[in-house]
Structures are given as C-alpha cells and as structure tokens.
Amino acid sequence: MSLKGKHIILGICGGIAAYKCASLARLLIKAGAEVQVIMTPAAKEFITPLTMSTLTGKPVISEFFTANTGQWNSHVDLGLWADAMLIAPATASTIGKMANGVADNMLVTTYLSAKSQVFIAPSMDLDMMRHPSTVRNIELLKSYGNIIIEPAEGELASHLIGKGRMEEPENILKVLDYYFTPKDLQGQHFLVTAGPTFEKIDPVRFIGNYSSGKMGYALANEAAARGAEVTIVSGPVDIKGVNPGVKIVKIESARQMLEQCEKIFPAVDCAIMCAAVADYAPVVQHETKIKREKDEIPVIHLMKNPDIAATLGKAKRAGQLLVGFALETDNEDVNAVDKLHRKNLDMIVLNSLKDAGAGFGTDTNKVTIFTSTGRQSQFALKSKTEVAADIVDAIVSLAHES
C-alpha cells in the first residue's frame, strides 16, 4: 500500500456527509497513514471530535489555540507536516473560503499554508452544487492545482436526487493510493485479459464459469497506478470504476477475446493473461431459443476454443513479456512450469485451489510465481490488490533481468 507512513491532514467541514469520515479515517489508518484531523466549528455538530481523535489516535484540531492551555496550533507546521491534505466533506462555504483566501478558521488557514497536494471531496445539495458561485469556486480550486474528487449522483439528505453525495470512502482512498503509487511504468503499454468468457448456446443460454475478473482488474489498476497505459480485454464481469489510464474492451466469447488481443498485442510491452477462458464453445449458436422437448434431451456439440496465451506466445517479439496464470488442483508446480514452457510465457502465476481463500470469486489470493529464467517466489495469502502489486513488482524485476 502506497499510503504507508504518509502524513494526511483530513479536513472535515460541517455537512451531513461528515458521518462518513469515521470510515474514511479508519481506511486511511488501515492503509498505514498517519491522520491529523482538522474540523471547522460547524463540523463538530455533525461528528464528534472524540470519535475522530479515538480513530486516529491524535487530538483533533479545530481552533487556532487550545483554550485551557493556551497552546498555539501552528497551521504552518501542519502544512509542512502533511504529505497530502484531504478536505472531505468540503461544503460550499469552505470551498468558497478556500477559493478566495478567507482564512477565518484553522482548516482554511492550514489549507493556505499547505505545500502538499490537496484533494477536495465536495458534498452539498444539488442546487448548491450547480450554483454559478460553487461552479466558479471549484474551477478556481482546480486552477490552483487541487484535485477535486467529484461527488456522486444519488439521493441527498434533502431527499432530492442529484449530484452532491460525497464520494464513498473506499473510492476516496483509491484516489489517494493512486496519487502516492510510484510511477515506475510510465511510457509502458500493458494488455490484461480478465474475467470469464461466455460461449453462446442460444439467445438465452451460454457456457461460462465463476471467474469474477477481480484479479485481472486489480492487475490493470496496479499497472495504471504505476503509470502504464493499460487495455483490459474483459469478459462479462460486474466491476465498476477503474484507475485513469485503464481502457476496457468488452467481449463475450474466447474467439472475440482472441481477435481483440491479436490487434492490441503487437503494440504492448507486457501482456497478462488472467482471463478464465472457456475451453470449449458450442459448434452451433442457435438464433432462436432451443425449445424444451417432452422426451428428447438436446445434444450440444462442442469445439475447442483457441488458446489465446499460446497464440500470443507464438507471436511474441523480443522485448515483450507474456505472463500467464495457472489454476491447479494437483501436481501444481510441475503443471505450472509445463504451461510456462508450452505457451512460451515469461512468467506464470500459480494459484492452487487447495489453498483456502485463493482462486475464483474471493477477494484474496495466494500465489507462487515462476519465471522462464528459473526463479520461483512464493507469497502469503493477501488481498488481490496486494497480490497485483507483487505480480507487477515481479514483472518489473524480470524486465530488468532480460
């Protein structure tokens, strides 16, 4: 996690979305960041300083000095301490003050002193959000180099439906994580296959599998966070939101996946074959729904699907890296290394179905990586996001080896 050890100022304003700051602070702390909360006076009406100081392990700052001790809270020191400042929720009033330098509270004063990147997650009613003054103030903040984490559409506290809901804490964390990830893949192009393939039987039926696409999308997001331009050729999955720099090409069948991969592969530096491609497809795809006959059981004749990884392995040119996956249940290492050579891969990532928490549908994975140069590295059970970082690290080291 790139947020490890990072100093984050979390500036909370007086909006109903302030209740989400408890989860936001927890997520930041879990990711290894140190969090200093600064609240506007109005924010304290929505969430208590006690909640925030307990979660972050640091007293909340709200005033220019602490009344009973007279201790001065230095906005200059705080500004220097921060690796990033995050204002969430950012209300119309604070946005206006920040845009125009109205330093009448600790939060805005610290904002004006901060040398680090500032992220702003607005939250307000839809009419306030689209008022020309808010629009102008947000444009001003963007022109100062601040990053706006756009609010989502949905039901607002007023029960009106529209744009103004503060982005969910998980997504805010992703924006910060992306910002802090070192960009060591700048200028590189990646192709990732992900998800299952659906092989059509008739308009309502298909042959498919349980692949969720989570591992492939995590790899694509990791490579993009590190500066690569990434294309995912994706089977049908239910995943929303990818990092900037990720383009998704949606397909259904193995043949469509192959067609797209053959187009994209010549221009990439690295291709990661993470899709669970169906081994067989029906020979005939019926145009109309196959009827259920009373006494007859229909026979579906199957044909072999193309092996996309092996096809790219044959087309591979010097300097390109091709990475495959092996999902094995027995004789795992031998089968994985055999696949590595048979498909002309440079690296294979083995996950064994024997390991609890590894494989399809889960949020975690446990992998062993084998390279064509004879290296073998085993990793512990981790989240798919962390596994993606390990795999991309291994790709970067292999690229330096060859």
**Amino acid letter, 225:** A
> Looking at beta carbons only, is 78 or 275 nearer to ligand C5P?
275
C-alpha closest to that of 274 among 211, 317, 342: 211
- H-only helix segments in 31-129: 49-56, 75-81, 92-100, 106-113, 126-129
Minimal distance, residue 275 CB to ligand C5P, in Å = 5
> Looking at beta carbons only, is 168 or 259 nearer to ligand C5P?
259
Minimal distance, residue 321 CB to ligand C5P, in Å = 13
Site for ligand C5P in 251-310 (CB under 6 A): 254, 273-275, 277, 305, 307-309
> Looking at beta carbons only, is 185 or 261 nearer to ligand C5P?
261
The first and second tokens of residue 281, run together, are: 């497809």
Minimal distance, residue 129 CB to ligand C5P, in Å = 44
Minimal distance, residue 302 CB to ligand C5P, in Å = 13
C-alpha closest to that of 28 among 147, 179, 166, 170: 170
Q: Which of 209, 243, 305, 351 is flagged as catalytic? A: 209
For 259-316, give the DSSP string. Answer: HHHHHHGGG-SEEEE--B--SEEES---SSPPP--SSPPP---EEEPP-HHHHHHHH-
For 161-191, give the DSSP string. Answer: EEEEEPPPHHHHHHHHHHHHS--TTTT-EEE
Q: Mask: binding to ligand C5P, 317-356, rule CB under 6 A, as x and -?
A: -------xxx------------x-----------------
- CA distance linking residue 293 with residue 274, whole number of Å: 39
> Looking at beta carbons only, is 168 or 307 nearer to ligand C5P?
307
- CA distance linking residue 244 with residue 229, whole number of Å: 9
| Residue with tokens 């900037």, as numbered in its chain | 244
Minimal distance, residue 325 CB to ligand C5P, in Å = 4
> Looking at beta carbons only, is 218 or 275 nearer to ligand C5P?
275
The first and second tokens of residue 258, run together, are: 């192959």
**336: phi then psi, degrees, rounded to nearest 5:** -65, -45
> Looking at beta carbons only, is 173 or 277 nearer to ligand C5P?
277
370's enclosing H/E stretch is: strand 368-371
- CA distance linking residue 220 with residue 284, whole number of Å: 34
Q: Is 105 in the site for ligand C5P (CB under 6 A)?
A: no
Minimal distance, residue 348 CB to ligand C5P, in Å = 7
Q: Mask: binding to ligand C5P, 191-230, rule CB under 6 A, as x and -?
A: --x-------------------------------------
Task: Examine the residue annotation and report whether 209 is marked as an active-site residue of this protein.
Answer: yes
Minimal distance, residue 274 CB to ligand C5P, in Å = 6
> Looking at beta carbons only, is 8 or 326 nearer to ligand C5P?
326
- CA distance linking residue 37 with residue 29, whole number of Å: 12
Minimal distance, residue 339 CB to ligand C5P, in Å = 5
Number of residues that bind ligand C5P (CB under 6 A): 14
**102: phi then psi, degrees, rounded to nearest 5:** -90, 90
Q: Give the burial string for 325-361 (b: 16+ CB within 10 Å, else e).
A: bbbbeeebeebbbebbeebbbbbbbbbbeeeeebbbe
For 210-247, give the DSSP string. Answer: ---SHHHHHHHHHHHHTT-EEEEEE-S-------TTEE
> Looking at beta carbons only, is 307 or 333 nearer to ligand C5P?
307
What residues are labeled active site?
209
- Residues lying near ligand C5P in the complex (CB under 6 A): 193, 254, 273-275, 277, 305, 307-309, 324-326, 339
